[in-house]
Amino acid sequence: MNVYRIITDTSANLELELLERRGIAEIPFSFSMPEKGGDVLYCPDFSAFDSKAFYDAMRSGTRVTTSQITPAQYTEKMRPLLEAGQDILFIGMSSGVSGSFQAGMVAAAQLRAEFPERSIELIDTLGASLGEGLVVLRAAELRDSGIALSAAVHLLSDYRDRMCQVFTVDNLKYLCSTGRLSNAKAAIGNILNIKPLLKGDSEGKIVNFGKVRGRKNSLRAIAEQYREYVVDAANQTVGIAHADCIEDANTLAELISEIAPPKDILTVMYEPVTGSHVGPGTLALFFVGKKGFRQAKS
């Protein structure tokens, strides 16, 4: 049986050592910081990246620009694997927040024409950070247990649809740069200590489904979403991603463990590309739950 190769992008927020151990290849996003010289940076190994310094620079006003993955980058990673006789399963960042997945589809179409005997499958996770990373790790479990590529795609699509992603930001100004909030509303919201409740919807887009006053209340609100929607917590790994707010991440872990202890909690700091769009202090929870979560209004 041909063992297919899993490829993801750095938005999955998984350390290089873990990816290599699980036999997963990675394509890096790029970013630059104009005030720091503007060099284009690729970050395939976040364990070697000073994330705290990155978020401190953002807090001090340093701008970050990001770039999508190009079709050429996908082709460069995929072609050698196809030439070696391997099929490919690519698992990528939500098409609802980035055009990179579409670029991957373009590359895959070209490579299918070159390698008609090989299979190339792509899964749009409709998520980012560990909302993507947990799907990648599940894919590795399926592959290692002998699940064929076509069956894995079906199972992973269902897993993806049940992946709940809920988060809050600490400073509303970072939502302005993405067009989700006006500067005036952000300024007023920060003065009033308003914290938005955000999630990934059925199209992989970020939507606001509520707001509370105060950081502690935002953590409790996230935990209540977990209470309402989590399924079979004792048999799943839950993900928590934070943008340099580890104490809040630990508090959230305690809150959900009091509600329904998961088998494991994977806590990571947001990688720089996704983190630059949500800003320092962002805190997110990822778990498998009821399918209705993405469509629910609250």
Q: What is the pLDDT of residue 72?
A: 98
Residue matched to tokens 């300024």: 187
Instruction: Report the distance separating Cα 208 and Cα 203, nearest Å.
Output: 14
The answer to whether residues 73 and 294 touch, using CB atoms and an 8 Å cutoff, is no
Strands 41-42 and 163-168: unpaired
Among 283, 275, 274, 277, CA closest to 196: 283
Instruction: Report the distance separating Cα 133 and Cα 145, nearest Å.
Output: 19
Half-sphere exposure of residue 138: CA atoms within 13 angstroms, side-chain side: 27
Q: At what angle do helices 149-161 and 130-144 cross, to 10 degrees?
A: 150
* Least confident interval from 31-45, 177-191, 265-279: 177-191
Beta-strand ranges (E) seen in the chain are: 5-9, 24-27, 30-32, 41-42, 65-67, 88-92, 120-124, 163-168, 194-200, 206-213, 237-242, 264-269, 283-288
Residue matched to tokens 């939500």: 94
Residue 187 pLDDT exceeds 60: no
Q: At what angle do helices 100-114 and 71-83 cross, to 10 degrees?
A: 40
Identify the bridge partners of residue 76 per DSSP, sorted by sequence position.
none
Among 129, 158, 139, 166, CA closest to 255: 166
Tokens coding 235: 């048999």
Q: How confident is the model at residue 184 (pLDDT cuts 50, 70, 90)?
A: very low
Q: What is the pLDDT of residue 226?
A: 98
Instruction: Report the distance separating Cα 167 and Cα 150, nearest Å.
Output: 32
Instruction: Report the distance separating Cα 228 and Cα 248, nearest Å.
Output: 21
Instruction: Report the distance separating Cα 48 and Cα 161, nearest Å.
Output: 32
Residue 290 pLDDT exceeds 90: yes
**Residue-range domain boundaries for the chain:** 5-29+68-161, 163-293
The answer to whether residues 91 and 156 touch, using CB atoms and an 8 Å cutoff, is yes
Q: What is the pLDDT of residue 186?
A: 47
* Exposure string for 208-241, b = 16+ CB within 10 A, e = fewer: eebbbeebeebbebbbebbeebbeebeebbbbbb
Instruction: Report the distance separating Cα 127 and Cα 202, nearest Å.
Output: 10
- Domain 163-293, architecture per CATH: 2-Layer Sandwich (3.30)
For the chain, the average pLDDT equals: 92
CA 31 → CA 40, 69, 126, 243, distances in Å?
6, 11, 21, 16
Residue 176 pLDDT exceeds 80: no
pLDDT tens track for 68-88? 999 999 999 999 999 999 999
Give 296 or 126, the one with higher predicted confidence. 126
Q: How confident is the model at residue 34 (pLDDT cuts 50, 70, 90)?
A: confident
% of the chain surpassing 90 pLDDT: 81
Q: What is the pLDDT of residue 174?
A: 82
Q: What is the pLDDT of residue 41?
A: 72
Q: Measured between alpha carbons, how far apart are the two ends of the chain, in Å?
A: 46
Which pTM does this prediction carry?
0.93
Instruction: Report the distance separating Cα 27 and Cα 137, nearest Å.
Output: 16
pLDDT tens track for 125-175? 999 999 999 999 999 999 999 999 999 999 999 999 999 999 999 988 887
% of the chain surpassing 70 pLDDT: 90
pLDDT tens track for 206-238? 999 999 999 999 999 999 999 999 999 999 999
In CATH, what class is 5-29+68-161?
A: alpha beta
Fold match flag (5-29+68-161 vs 163-293):
no
